Every structure is written in structure tokens, then in C-alpha cells.
Amino acid sequence: MGSPASALLAACVLASALACAPTASAQSRGELLYATHCIACHTTQVHWRDRKLATDWNSLKLQVRRWQAVAALDWSEQDVLEVTRHLNDSFYGFKPTSNTVGVLVPAANRSRNRPASN
């Protein structure tokens, strides 16, 4: 067997090699959900097209919510928000209106839900 000094040297070399090894970047939940459920149909080109439906933060979130429903993914509102953040960070750069997830009111019902102005 080798000496304790050579074992210590080998351990130090191994430790320094591991410390210098590149680490895998952690994926966000939104990125993981998108990669798992959406990327099969949505290449990056869909986010660059001229006729894209997402034109601001709210419309992007609406499209994420819409397509997860079409795919019957049953995502929580937090999941919708995480995927929206991932897409916004990766492709769009819209200014988020807030970090909370609100309830969408269909356009036809918006005027009925507003308080009457005097």
C-alpha cells in the first residue's frame, strides 16, 4: 500500500479536480415544465414570428394559460406564472405587470365587473 502522504496527495488532487469541474446550471421550474410539455411543438421560431400572439406580459401569460388548457396539463396558476417568466426571460423581455397571478376576466364581462362611475 502507498504511504499516508501519497494518499493525502491523491485526495487533494481529486478534490481540486472536482472543485474545478463545471457545474450544470439549475433549470427553473418554468423551464422544466416548458421543456417537458411544450418544446415538442414550440421551437424557438414560434416566439420570433411576425404574427405572434404574445405582445406584452399579460398576453404572454394568457397564451401560456391557454395552451396548457388545450394540452390538458392542469397546471396551477403558479406553474403558468413560472412558464411565463421563463419564456419572457428567454425570448420576449416584456415588463411584468406583477409577480402575482390574477384571475382573468373575459372581455365580455369586464364592463359588468367595473364599479359604476358617477
Give how many domains the chain has, as a whole number. 1
pLDDT tens-digit profile, the chain (118 residues):
566 666 655 655 555 555 554 445 678 999 999 999 888 777 665 666 566 788 999 999 999 999 999 999 999 999 999 999 999 998 889 998 865 444 443 334 334 444 444 4
* Confidence (pLDDT) at 114: 42
Cα 66 to chain centroid distance, Å, stands at 15
- 3-state secondary structure (DSSP) of residue 30: helix
* Confidence (pLDDT) at 107: 39
Which range marks the domain in which residue 45 is found?
29-99
Cβ atoms of 96 and 57 closer than 8 Å: yes
- Confirm whether pTM is higher than 0.85: no
Q: How far is CA 56 from CA 1, 91, 94, 96, 98, in A?
A: 67, 12, 6, 8, 12
Residue 17 resides in a domain = no
Residue 113 resides in a domain = no
Distance CA(17)–CA(1), nearest Å, equals 23
Residue 116 resides in a domain = no
Q: Any idea what the CATH number is for the domain that residue 47 is in?
A: 1.10.760
Q: For residue 34, what is its C-alpha cell? A: 416548458
Residue 62 resides in a domain = yes
